[in-house]
Amino acid sequence: MIERRLLIRCDGGNIPEIGTGHVRRCLALAAELLLCPGTSLVFLMRPTPWLERVRDAGHTVLALDETDDLDEQLVQVARECDVHVVFLDNLDQSVGAIPSLQAEGRIVISMDDPSACPQADISVAPAFPGRASTHVELDRTIFLDPLRARSGGGACADILASFGGYDPGGLALKFLRAWCQRPSETSVLVALGSECPDLTALQEIAEDSENVEVATEIDLVQALSQAELAITNGGTTLFLAAALGTPSLCVAQYPHQTANSRRVEVAGATRYLGAAQDFDPLKLVDQARDLLADPSRREAMSFAGRVLFPGLGKRELAQTLSVVERLEWDSNFFGMEIATLHPRRLTERILLFAEKACRAVSIQCLYFLADGSHEPTRVLAEQHGFRAVDDRLTYLRTTEDLPQAAPPPGVEIRTGLAADGAQLAQIAGTSYGASRYFHDGRFPKERCEQFYRDWIQKSLEGRFDDEVLVAVCEGQVAGYISCRANTANLGSIGLVGLDADFRARGIGSSLVQASLTWFEERDIPRIEVVTQGRNVAAQKLYESCGFVLHRVEKWYHNWLDEDRNQA
């Protein structure tokens, strides 16, 4: 088991009232991290009410002495706890400590920093990349709870308004006063923290107003998933609303929220109404009522938001912080110890920790999926014994405007059956010679073939991918495609295989179109499929079906076993 010790430094900058979203997402991240065997972590926070909430969640929390140098305390705690990774989520306020932490060999991962903390080993924006961002997949935010399907209606109000837990600009009070000037049957729920200075005034308005409620403790994800419209300040609530398919109006309180709001607006999921200093509450009220009266516009915004945020951010960031992980299934299947290196870009500190951790548990092969555009990572990987074995191309399309195309004459596409298993396995065993396992040359060929035979068999049983669609031609199984619902927003095509006797007949395109229909019927708007750089035929197939190239990465393998390196 690979051991890793982490320190999470979170608040929300040096202003006491900021930090609700930061701490909540760190709590969600911590819960995900602890699912990885060998992980231990400690929080370091200012002595605010949030510190006790984190402690009540069962975590070890150390309190900073605000009368002393905070950077020095951070370095000292990291040293005393002997942590491997320090995660900073406190709005750029620990930049001064980064060189000292790194000088002691600690990996520093920084999040939500307006300056993008270029000296951190990895700098992550919660939804979109900063100038020096070193995280690859940044269109995936961290969620407080697992992403759920949008429900619509129900117990929540028509409008959910949240301007942050503390709402330092008093936007909620300004909005609610303007809303109540023009009474309506539309229900409004204003969500904020119990420390908000305007809480009493807001509660008094709610008591005197029909269809208006003010709450300090709500299930934000549930409330957003049921609301027809969200009004946010460009922070965590904006990302959640978009991911859940709730159209929104946005007034940003801080510069980084302005940048994020504009990007979400460009994607079509929100309307940005300006910064807090230019806030016109009556304009906001008019915009909200106009949008509520335009269901087709709300539907388009809902779709755009769900496409923008697939819903894997919490898991992927947790993997990045865990740095390296032993892969139990791969190890058991191939009969050798295998691990994977999670960060997409490398520094010497990341590599040294990964190599030491792997050798401590006798890892023989270390996988690494790299950002294909980052030259320093390529150089470091090759210097440390990694060998490129594959280019990984991810294609993307949505289920919007799907073509209505029938299969070729004589071809039927149906759900795969258990009785199809032997025929599908035969196709699978001979269809993926372009994959990295075959190309590496060190994995036994028969095990590589069995890998794909097992994949399709498990998918037929719903134990890997969720469904297999089968093409039948002239009474024979001609090919198949497997489909997986990853989240409420994201689906993926797993394996596509064709019998050699049935190629070049349009069956592959028909299978892809059938899979898109499968996702559309399940209200999954964003579809991804991965293929190899050397598999030109597959690239042309996906492009002909409306997919566009979304991301290029490079697979590396590092054989740490000396005998295998000499082979």
Helix (H) or strand (E) holding 164: none
pLDDT of residue 434: 92
Binned at pLDDT 50, 70 and 90, residue 143 comes out as low
**CATH level 3 topology of 4-124:** Rossmann fold (3.40.50)
Please report, as a single letter, which amino acid is at residue 434.
A
Structure tokens at 546: 């409306």
Predicted local distance difference test score (pLDDT) of residue 477: 94
Write the pLDDT tens digit of every residue in 78-115: 999 999 999 998 877 888 999 999 999 999 998 866 56
**Bridge partners of residue 271, in order along the sequence:** 249
Within a 10 A sphere around the Cβ of 332, how many other Cβ atoms? Answer: 10
What region does 410 belong to: left with phi over 0, alpha with psi -120 to 50, or beta?
A: left
Q: How many CB atoms lie within 10 A of CB 69?
A: 13
- C-alpha distances in Å from residue 500, one per residue of 260, 453, 477, 503: 48, 16, 11, 6
More confident residue, 315 or 18: 315
Q: Which tops the pLDDT comparison, 233 or 295?
A: 295
Same CATH fold assignment for domains 4-124 and 159-308: yes
Going by C-beta distance under 8 Å and a sequence separation of 6 or more, which residues neighbour residue 191? 160, 161, 162, 215, 216, 218, 220, 223
**Cα three-residue angle 421-423-425, rounded to 5 degrees:** 65
pLDDT digit string (tens) for 534-567?
999 999 999 999 999 999 999 999 999 754 444 4
* Between 524 and 565, the higher pLDDT residue: 524
Domain range list for the chain: 4-124, 159-308, 323-384, 396-557
Task: Tell me what pLDDT residue 152 has.
Answer: 55
pLDDT value at residue 18: 59
Domain 159-308 is found in CATH 3.40.50.2000: yes
Q: CATH topology for 396-557? A: Aminopeptidase (3.40.630)
- Pick 15 or 362 by higher pLDDT: 362
Phi, psi of 453 (to 5 degrees): -65, -40
Residue 155's pLDDT is: 56
pLDDT bin (cut points 50, 70, 90) of residue 144 is low
**pTM assigned to the model:** 0.91
